[in-house]
Structure 1
Amino acid sequence: MKKNLKRYRAFLVVLVFIAVLTVVNYKLGLKALTISANSFKEMLFVIPPVFVLLGLLDIWVPRETMVKFMGEGSGIKGVILSILLGSAAAGPLYGAFPVAAVFMKKGVKFMNILIFIGAWSTTKIPMFLFEIAALGNKFAVTRLLVDIPGIIVIAFIISRFVSKKEVEEIYARVEKINK
């Protein structure tokens, strides 16, 4: 029981806060509850398909293939594939983290995981098409041409600043969770 309370304490604190807010200011509390319910509903539509795709990726794509194309020795091929996979992804950023966990389990290089997350957050194809329609070709292409090298540079810098031991601990935690 204590373990569950500790595990969900942030949720419970927010729930109590919303209850107090609703008592103090009913309209504002109701608005906060509505926003929370809408966010929860959105997650219900995004997370199940992501986990189905992750299950398929986990079963259908052998570890050796992922290591070959996105592992330590993948070079530019891994970088390009990380950008393409991140750009082709659909859904909000929180959908990228379970995918990144499966990538870690499959032996994908840490820098390529960072690039994948960066691409998921900034270079999605639907967003690019919307920008072309709404803001014009020049803006959309310029933003993309700035973002892609920026993502690679940031991923490179982060991967250099994070020690090998810390990366190994992250991979070990992911492996522990997936068992």
Structure 2
Amino acid sequence: MKKIIKRYRGFLFVLVAMILLILFNQELGLKTLRITGNSVKEMLLVIPPIFLLLGLLDVWVPRETMIKYMGEGSGIKGVLLAIFIGSAAAGPLYGAFPVAAVFMKKGVKFMNILIFIGAWSTTKIPMFLFEIAALGNTFAITRLLIDIPGIIIIAFILSKMVSKKEVQALYENAASID
């Protein structure tokens, strides 16, 4: 029982806080409950398709192929592939992390994983098309031309700042997830 309480202490704390909020300010508490419900509903609509695609990626794409195209020796081809996959992805940023974990299991270079996460968060193709329509070609293209090198530079710096021991621990943790 203690193990369960310890594992879910964050959830239990928030649950108690919401109950107290409803008791002391019913209007605000119910509004908070509605927002929480909408967030949970959104997650339940996004996460199953991502996990389905991850399962297919895990089964259909051999580790050797991922290492060849996005692993340590992949060079610019790995960087471009990470940008393309991240830009073509759909869904909120929290969907990128399970994909990154599968990439780690498949032997993708740490810097390429960071580039993938950066591309997922800033260079999505639908967002780019919306920006062209709403804000104009100049803004959209300028932002993209600044973001892509920025993502690569940040990923490079982070990959150099994080120790090999920490990176190894991340890869081992990802490999243990089934």
Aligned-residue identity in percent: 75
Could you give the per-residue CA deviations for residues 136-173 of structure 1, whole angstroms, max 9, x where no partner exists? 11101000000000000000000000011110011011
Q: Distance in 2 between matches of 1:91 and 1:150?
A: 22
1:33-84 Cα deviation digits (max 9, x unpaired) = 0000000000000000000000000000000000000000000000000000
The SS at the match of 1:90 is: coil
Matched, 1:39 2:24: no
User: Is 1:3 the equivalent of 2:22?
Assistant: no
- What is the match of residue 78 of structure 2? 78
1:29-178 pair list within 5 angstroms: 29-178=29-178
Give me the whole-angstrom Cα distance separating, in 2, the residues matched to 1:163 and 1:72: 16
Deviation at 1:176, TM superposition (A): 1.5
Letter of the 1:95 partner, please give it.
G
User: Deviating runs (4+, > 2 A) in structure 1?
Assistant: none
CA distance in 2, matches of 1:148, 1:66: 22
Q: Is the partner of 2:133 in helix, strand or coil?
A: helix
CA distance in 1, matches of 2:60, 2:96: 19
Q: Helix, strand or coil for the counterpart of 2:73?
A: coil
* Distance in structure 2 (CA, Å) of the matches to 1:49 and 1:17: 32
SS at match of 1:116: helix
Q: Secondary structure at the match of 1:112?
A: helix
Q: Which amino acid in structure 2 is aligned with residue 20 of structure 1?
A: L
Higher mean C-alpha displacement, 34-43 vs 4-13: 4-13
Indicate the larger mover: 75-84 or 1-10. Answer: 1-10
Which residue of structure 2 lines up, in the alignment, with residue 12 of structure 1?
A: 12
Deviation at 1:5, TM superposition (A): 1.3
- SS, match of residue 90 in structure 2: coil
For residues 85 and 147 of structure 2, the distance between their equivalents in structure 1, rounded to whole angstroms, comes to 15
